[in-house]
Amino acid sequence: MPPWSRQRAPQARPGLPGGPVQRPSGGLRLGAAWRAAMHQRPLLGIVLGFAGAVVLGTVLLVLPLSGHAGLRTALFTATSAVCVTGLTTVDTGTAWTGFGQLVILLLIQLGGFGIMTFASLVGLLVSRRLGLHTRLMAAASTRTVGLGDVRSTLVRVGRITLAVEAATAVLLAVRWVWGYHEPFGRAVWLGVFHAVSAFNNAGFALFPDSLEGYATDPWIGIPIALAVLIGGLGFPVVVELLRRHHRPSRWSLHTKITVLMTAILVPLGTVFMLTAEWSNPATLGGLSVPGRVLASFVQGVMPRTAGFSVLDPAALREGTWLGTDVLMFIGGGSASTAGGIKMTTFAVLAVVIWSELRGDPDVTFFDRRISAAAQRQAAAVALVGVAAVIVPTIAIDLTSDFGLSDILAEVVSASATVGLSAGITAQLAPWHQVVLIGLMFAGRLGPITLGAALALRERARAVRRPEGQPIIG
């Protein structure tokens, strides 16, 4: 037989002597490629997890069992719940049945806790063991520095979440039973729903006017505001505060910045609301002095980014809304349930400006030098956040009859996942609502994925170009 006519002998397959090689089919190759991509890009798993939760929530909310909402309303509500925003096109307390409200509650919990964090914790409880891939995704979601800390971090996250929500729910339920004579079952449901919504900075309420009816009630306003603040600090900060609360000198730089910015922004928001609305008869003007202070405190905390309102949003002055927009844009702490560009980003940029004005060669904060990479990342996140506000605002303003102040408030609220509304969400055109859906999703995941992606792309170069000095300003 000529050599060219010989047939190639079957190659031996490892583990099966003499057997032919079994090449994977197209589907198996695709699955292997997908798993490889997920291993290499854990952030992709977070994005897909949130998207899957939105799809599942939409399917459940469009069912007649949840209410009689259309597909767009169900999609808008599911996205708002998963992204812990709080913007709605219908009244949550009346448009949805008990089952629909339960779905919204679960979506808020999943979104606030983090889809990947939640999945990792469930896997830990079931198998008592985390694989490397799951730990990578959990680390990306919780911003844990070391992979060895993921397991303990997830357990702490679960305990903190349950503890804060349970304590808040008990306080609220007791108040609704004793102070407002609500039936026990409804009082418990109100307490649980608003506690979960507050800690996860979602801002969903079961009352048509949010919390305006409790503007001067400290037993309702203060527990909700405290839950919002704790959820807005971020899990890494809360864990460190619990472990080293008596030794501030040993706090990490991130914790110090977050605590400092919180200590600045909370009183600033309170004083701003108190000053701007003091003489407004439609908001603070008709309240007593203690009531004005309490309402200003609660309303000043909400832009961080909860979405509850104790003052009529439609009655707020335009200057008040503009200041609220700024607070919403800054948002809360990194790796928290809050949105915005995050307080750390804003603080780094502020210190950069201050150092430049002083002519300092290095940017320092709490006796620590801020790396050039962190400065660039902060600038990138902030500028992308500005673009995410300006472009949709212009587009909606050119195609609607609403005022610029109202449109800006809706766009900032959506992109910063706040939920405060000027009252025009339900009146917007369908494609405007679709834009808000995209902003809520991008606003929830954008700063996380962008910041992490920029950090992961950092690499050393063997060759550096000659330095140039353009004229600035």
**pLDDT surpasses 80 at 77:** yes
- Does the residue 466 lie in any domain? no
Residue 426: name the closest of 442, 454, 402 by CA: 402
Q: Is the pTM of this model over 0.85?
A: no
**CA angle at 400 for the pair 399 and 405, rounded to the nearest 5°:** 115
pLDDT score at 68: 83
At residue 423 the predicted structure's pLDDT band, cuts being 50, 70 and 90, is confident
Q: What are residue 263's phi and psi, to 5 degrees?
A: -65, -25
- Cα distance between residue 421 and residue 433, in whole Å: 13
φ, ψ at 370 (rounded to 5°): -80, 125
pLDDT at 57 > cutoff 60: yes
* Predicted pLDDT of residue 459: 56
Looking at the structure of the chain, the number of domains it has is 1
In this predicted structure, which of 54-58, 94-98, 359-363 has the lowest mean pLDDT? 359-363
Is residue 423 in a domain? yes
Q: What is the pLDDT of residues 255-312, one digit of tens each?
A: 899 999 999 999 999 999 999 999 999 999 989 999 999 999 999 999 988 889 999 9
Task: Name the β-bridge partners of 96.
Answer: 67
Q: Which of 33-42, 202-211, 293-302 has the lowest mean pLDDT?
A: 33-42
User: Which range of residues forms the domain containing residue 139?
Assistant: 40-457
- The average pLDDT across 170-181 equals 96
Q: What pLDDT, on a 0 to 100 scale, did the predictor assign at position 16?
A: 43
Q: Give the model's pLDDT for residue 472.
A: 67
Is the pLDDT confidence value at 10 over 80? Answer: no
How far is 279 from 221, CA to CA, in rounded Å? 22
Model pLDDT for residues 307-365, shown as the tens digit of each residue: 899 999 989 999 999 999 999 999 988 777 888 899 999 999 999 999 989 888 888 88
Residue 348 is predicted with a pLDDT of 93
Residue 9 is assigned to a structural domain of this protein: no
Per the structure block, which two tokens stand in for 467?
């330095």
Is pLDDT of 376 > 60?
Answer: yes
Residue 471 within any structural domain of the chain: no
Q: Is residue 108 part of a domain?
A: yes
Q: Are 106 and 82 in contact (CB under 8 A)?
A: no
Is residue 269 in some structural domain? yes
For residue 64, how many other CB atoms are within 10 A of its CB?
9
pLDDT above 90 as % of the chain: 54
In a domain, residue 212? The reply is yes
- Say which amino acid occupies 189: W
The band of 418, judged by pLDDT with boundaries at 50, 70 and 90, is: very high
Q: What pLDDT score was predicted for residue 35?
A: 52
> Is position 58 within any domain?
yes
* Residue 401 burial (CB count, 10 A): 6
Query: What pLDDT is stored for residue 101 in this prediction?
Result: 96
